């Protein structure tokens, strides 16, 4: 298995490496990309925790004897590494959009965990768009195919909601449910029939882009209606 991750303190990269170790999945190498500014405007609403206490992925790999490469995921250097290792499965713990050339190096495919229900909530800022469009919250694991949050569906879970949820609660629960379906997803690809997976068709709903800041006041209003006992809901009514 090849893990695509980030070459900086990153919670998901850390946790996926720990989970691979815990469940007995062998990581043959980590391809770690440096941080890059994507130029997105800052958001006025936060849906995720600011974690601390993470272990740098390079330290985890050093301790576990896993080869660690600092490379752009779509670079010629990455392709050379994949040609040499001839991997079956890729696992995304942190990556931008992978090229089809990279994806095709994996005989069984590349797994992604998306914090939204595919195809209803593809793309960026899934929490915000699910509230704004009154869509369910959920997590989807899938084999990618070069399109944004598409490919073949492995597993889907809709998130329970509670009247006093905050935006942080929802974002954190989505992440926890990615971990919840981790071993079941990997086992399905290692041992299952990939041909039986549900394919996301080409004409499905387009992926969402960055949530516009000018939509945020209406977002808070709709959040208050959906979660009437939340602290945010009370604040938005003042």
Please write the tens of the pLDDT for every residue from 93-124: 999 999 999 999 999 999 999 999 999 999 99
Joined tokens for residue 166:
């905050």
Q: Which one is predicted more confidently, 86 or 194? A: 86
Q: What is the mean pLDDT of residues 191-209?
A: 82
d(CA 170, CA 159): 8
d(CA 26, CA 130): 35
d(CA 99, CA 110): 11
On the question of pLDDT at 227 being above 90, the answer is yes
Please write the tens of the pLDDT for every residue from 157-178: 999 999 999 999 999 999 999 9
At 43, give phi and psi (nearest 5°): -90, 150
Q: Which one is predicted more confidently, 96 or 67? A: 67
d(CA 140, CA 127): 14
Collapsed DSSP state (helix, strand, coil) of residue 135: coil
What percent of the chain is predicted at pLDDT more than 70? 97
Would you state the pLDDT for residue 39? 85
Contacts of 31 (CB under 8 A, 6+ apart): 2, 3, 4, 5, 69, 71, 73, 78, 81
Best CATH choice for the domain 2-237 from the list 3.40.50.170, 3.40.50.280, 3.10.20.30, 2.60.40.10:
3.40.50.170
Contacts of 210 (CB under 8 A, 6+ apart): 40, 41, 124, 125
Would you state the pLDDT for residue 59? 98
Please write the tens of the pLDDT for every residue from 18-38: 999 999 999 999 999 999 888
């Amino acid at each position: 298995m090849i893990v695509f991750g980030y070459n900086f303190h990153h919670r998901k990269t850390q946790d996926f490496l720990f989970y691979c170790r815990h469940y007995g999945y062998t990581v043959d190498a980590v391809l770690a990309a440096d941080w890059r500014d994507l130029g997105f405007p800052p958001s006025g609403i936060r849906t995720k925790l600011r974690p601390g206490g993470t272990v740098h992925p390079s330290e985890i790999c050093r301790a576990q004897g896993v080869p660690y490469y600092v490379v752009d995921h779509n670079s010629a250097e990455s392709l050379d590494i994949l040609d040499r290792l001839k991997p079956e499965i890729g696992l995304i713990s942190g990556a931008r959009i992978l090229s089809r050339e990279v994806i095709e190096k994996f005989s069984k495919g590349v797994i992604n965990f998306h914090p939204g229900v595919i195809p209803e909530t593809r793309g960026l800022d899934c929490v915000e768009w699910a509230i704004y469009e009154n869509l369910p919250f959920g997590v989807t694991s899938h084999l990618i195919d070069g399109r944004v949050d598409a490919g073949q569906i492995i597993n889907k879970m809709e998130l329970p909601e509670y009247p006093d949820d905050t935006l942080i609660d929802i974002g954190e629960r989505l992440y926890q449910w990615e971990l919840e379906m981790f071993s079941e997803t990997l086992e399905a690809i290692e041992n299952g029939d990939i041909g039986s997976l549900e394919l996301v068709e080409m004409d499905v709903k387009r992926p969402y882009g960055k949530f516009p800041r000018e939509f945020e006041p209406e977002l808070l209003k709709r959040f208050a209606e959906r979660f009437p006992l939340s602290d945010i809901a009370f604040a938005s009514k003042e």
